[in-house]
Structure 1
Amino acid sequence: MLGLSWAQLGSFVALCLVLAATPGANLTVVLGCARQGGQRAAVAATAGLTLGKVFWAAGSVLGLATLLATSRLAYDMLRLAGAAYLIWLGVQALRSARRRPAVRPPDGPVPELSALGGFRRGLIGDLLNPKVGIFYTTVFPQFIGPDDAVVPAAAVLLAAHTAVLMTWYPGMTYLLTRVGRRLARPGLSAVLDRVMGSVLIGLGIRLAVVPL
């Protein structure tokens, strides 16, 4: 299989599942998009962050992402940009909580975030996430053996990572949406937006203050 063994691919998929299930910036962004735009925005955000990983994987294969591991200045610039973006998303969520009406509209809540907006959030958030860069610089290459065809093998691993993300995140948001219909009540939605915004701001501050 293009030089990759089933053991290599299975180990990589297992790692991707663990990382996807671990709370972090990507999961918070996707859940935030689901809160503001529904399932379509969540799926679009997941597509955006998977596209971001395409760029990271290409950079890793070409040797460009190595800059993050060798240049402290480049890493710090990306880290601070990512922190600022997370804080901005958190502020937007807090502002959304203040704008929510006290009573649910007769026709139900209207999504505040479009699919395009969700896609953009996912893409930008992933490109400005230094942890993704470090993963594709240091961990990703470890699953490609010295005798493997690098580009085809990297494409297979990237496809596997994409499949995991496009299954896990939309599936999780769908289940949460189906189980938590009552969360659509404006009062509780405002509380959840405040929690989500606070988490995003906290992640941003942590990323800015505590390097990896």
Structure 2
Amino acid sequence: MVSGVQMLAFVGVVLLAAMAPGPDFIIVTRHAAVSGRRAGIATGLGIASGVFVWAVVAALGVASLLAASAIAFTIVKLVGAAYLAYLGIKALIGAWRRGETLTATTQLSTVRPWVAFRQGLITNLLNPKCAVFFVALMPQFLSGTSPRLDQTLLLSALAVMVTAIWFTVLANLVGLLKRFFTSAKVRRVMDTVTGTILVAFGIKIATD
């Protein structure tokens, strides 16, 4: 049985991990700033769904196989890096196009909630560091060599709840500034900065 103290400790560790600047943080911030709170929240829920998957497979020992297999880990790492680079390049191309057609009536494209959710989910699932994180974390809070299903689901649910709450708060805070970010000039800067960061994260993951 997972005690209350263990649950609080688990929640604290997951919250700190979620708050750490990384691809998840950047993509939620970008969608909330450009497309509004709904898109930001949808992105956060996609990330939380990815967290649930990693928490469950880590508890079941599947993720440990990924962490132990150099080939599998490298494949996930390179695919994830390529996806982040794709999102970053896409943002940079958007910034470049806006730079050429910058007018007061420029129509700014937004991301639909479902697309934002999917991008959040894929970004998290293709981040091999999430697998390593939960492989190291979950066994510390599960009793016995064969953890019970209720313990696994409880901790997984807590991880999802903490992640979803944090990114919902973040999306709402950033979403309050949506009017500022819908300026064509500001949007161009936003796309350039976030695109560059996403490409940098992709390179970092690929070469880590």
TM-score where L is the length of structure 2: 0.90
Structure-2 residue corresponding to 1:157: 155
Residue of structure 2 equivalent to 1:97:
95
3-state SS, counterpart of residue 65 of structure 1 = helix
1-structure distance, mates of 2:66, 2:198: 23
Cα RMSD (Å) of the superposition?
A: 2.0
Q: Which residue of 2 aligns with 1:53?
A: 51
Counterpart amino acid of residue 105 in structure 2: P
Deviations 1:130-154 (A, max 9, x none): 0111112121221112299521112
What's the CA shift string for 1:63-95, capped at 9, x where partnerless? Answer: 211112221111111111111111001011112
User: Number of residues paired by the alignment?
Assistant: 206
- The correspondence of residues 1-212 of structure 1 with structure 2, limited to 5 A, is 3-100=1-98, 102-105=102-105, 111-146=109-144, 150-179=148-177, 181-210=179-208
Alpha-carbon distance change, 5 to 104 in structure 1, aligned in 2, over 3 angstroms: farther
C-alpha distance in structure 2 between counterparts of 1:44 and 1:8, whole Å: 29
Deviations 1:87-132, CA, capped at 9 Å, x for gaps: 00101111222333523439xx655211111011011111100011
Q: Which moved more, 1:69-78 or 1:5-14?
A: 69-78
* Contact kept in structure 2, 1:61 and 1:151, CA below 8 Å: no
CA distance in 2, matches of 1:147, 1:69: 19
Q: CA offset at residue 191 of structure 1?
A: 0.4
Tell me how far apart the structure 2 counterparts of residues 182 and 70 of structure 1 sit (CA, whole Å).
46
Contact 1:4-1:148 within 8 A present in 2 as well:
no
Q: 1:19-56 CA distances to partner (integer Å, 9 max, x unpaired)?
A: 11110111112112223422111111111111112222
Distance 1:105 1:171 in 2: 31
Question: Residues 207 and 24 from structure 1, CA distance in 2 versus in 1: closer, same or farther, beyond 3 angstroms?
Answer: same
1: CA distance between counterparts of 2:23 and 2:32? 14
CA contact (8 A) 1:97 1:189 kept: yes
- Out of 139-148 and 58-67, give the one that drifted further: 139-148
Indicate the percent of aligned positions where both proteins have the same amino acid: 33
Consecutive aligned runs of 4 or more in structure 1 exceeding 4 Å deviation: none
Q: Is 1:30–1:46's contact at 8 Å kept on the other side of the alignment?
A: yes
The question of whether the paired residues in 1 share the 8 Å contact of 2:40 and 2:171 is answered with yes
- Structure 1 gaps, min length 5: none
Q: What's the CA shift string for 1:141-186, capped at 9, x where partnerless?
A: 2111229952111211111111111111121121123246423211
Partner Cα separation in structure 1 for residue 120 and residue 178 of structure 2: 23
User: Relative to structure 1, is the Cα distance of residues 61 and 148 closer, same or farther in structure 2, using a 3 angstrom cutoff?
Assistant: closer
